[in-house]
Amino acid sequence: MSDPQSSPGREATGAAPGERPDSPLPHTAFVNEWRSGQTLLVLRELLDLAEQVGPSIARRAEVGHTELRALELLVRSPHGPVELARELGVTSAASSGIVDRLEARGHVRRVAHATDGRRTQVVLTDSAREEVLGYLVPMFAALAQMDATFDDAEKQIVERYLRGAIDAIHRII
Amino acid sequence: MSDPQSSPGREATGAAPGERPDSPLPHTAFVNEWRSGQTLLVLRELLDLAEQVGPSIARRAEVGHTELRALELLVRSPHGPVELARELGVTSAASSGIVDRLEARGHVRRVAHATDGRRTQVVLTDSAREEVLGYLVPMFAALAQMDATFDDAEKQIVERYLRGAIDAIHRII
DNA sequence: GCGGGTCACTCATTAGATTAGTAATCTACT
DNA sequence: AGTAGATTACTAATCTAATGAGTGACCCGC
What are the DSSP calls for B8-31, one per residue? TTS-TT---TTS-TT---HHHHHH
Helices (H), strands (E): how many in chain A? 7, 2
pTM above 0.95, yes or no: no
Rounded CA-CA distance A171/B104 in Å is 30
Q: What is the dihedral of CA A85, A91, A96, A98, to 10 degrees?
A: -70
**Contact flag B8-A73 (C-beta cutoff 8 Å):** no
The pLDDT value given to residue B24: 73
Q: b/e for A2-11, b at 16 or more Cβ within 10 A?
A: bbbeebebbe
For the CA of A23 and the C1' of D30, the distance in angstroms is: 66
The pLDDT value given to residue B25: 81
Rounded CA-CA distance A154/B157 in Å is 7
Mean pLDDT for A49-78 is 96
Residue A101 CA, distance from chain mean position: 22
Per the structure, the residue whose CA is closest to nucleotide C25 at C1' is B118
Q: Are B113 and B81 in contact (CB under 8 A)?
A: no
For the CA of A9 and the C1' of C27, the distance in angstroms is: 27
* Closest residue to A168, CB basis, from B126, B129, B142: B142
B118 vs chain A: nearest CA distance in angstroms? Answer: 20
Q: Are A71 and A107 in contact (CB under 8 A)?
A: yes
**Contact flag B42-A146 (C-beta cutoff 8 Å):** no
CATH 1.10.10.10 is the classification of domain A52-170: yes
Query: A126 to each of A102, A106, B14, how far by Cα in Å?
Result: 13, 10, 11
- HSE (CB half, 13 Å, CA atoms) of A63? 28
More confident residue, A93 or A13: A93
Per the structure, the residue whose CA is closest to nucleotide D21 at C1' is A93
More confident residue, B36 or A81: A81
**Contact flag B27-A137 (C-beta cutoff 8 Å):** yes
Q: Are B49 and A166 in contact (CB under 8 A)?
A: yes
* Closest residue to A147, CB basis, from B2, B37, B142: B37
For the CA of B166 and the C1' of C20, the distance in angstroms is: 38
* Closest residue to A124, CB basis, from B9, B73, B159: B9
Q: Are A172 and B138 in contact (CB under 8 A)?
A: yes
* Closest residue to B143, CB basis, from A40, A72, A133: A40
Q: Are A105 and A97 in contact (CB under 8 A)?
A: no
For the CA of A118 and the C1' of D30, the distance in angstroms is: 22
The model's pLDDT over B5-28, given as tens digits with 9 standing for 90+, comes to: 544 444 434 344 444 555 678 898
- Taking contacts as CB-CB distances below 8 angstroms, the residues of chain B near A135 are 172
**Contact flag A54-B56 (C-beta cutoff 8 Å):** no
DSSP sequence for A30-67 = HHHH----HHHHHHHHHHHHHHHHHHHHHHHHTS-HHH
**Contact flag A162-B39 (C-beta cutoff 8 Å):** yes
Query: B153 to each of A153, B38, B149, how far by Cα in Å?
Result: 12, 22, 12
The model's pLDDT over B57-98, given as tens digits with 9 standing for 90+, comes to: 999 999 999 999 999 999 999 999 999 999 999 999 999 999
Confidence of residue A172 (pLDDT cuts 50, 70, 90): confident
The neighbour count for residue A44, using CB atoms within 10 Å, is 22
The pLDDT value given to residue A28: 87
Q: Are A70 and A80 in contact (CB under 8 A)?
A: no
In the A/B pair of chains, how many CB contacts fall below 8 A? 278
- Taking contacts as CB-CB distances below 8 angstroms, the residues of chain B near A4 are 72, 75-76, 132-133, 136-137, 140
List the one residue out of B57, B60, B62 whose CA is nearest residue B101.
B62
- The gap between the terminal CA atoms of chain A, to the nearest Å, is 13
- HSE (CB half, 13 Å, CA atoms) of B146? 25
**Contact flag A27-B169 (C-beta cutoff 8 Å):** no
Of A29-33, B5-9, B99-103, which gets the smallest average pLDDT?
Answer: B5-9
Q: Are B144 and A40 in contact (CB under 8 A)?
A: yes
Confidence of residue B3 (pLDDT cuts 50, 70, 90): low
List the one residue out of A113, A74, A25, A41 whose CA is nearest residue B3.
A74
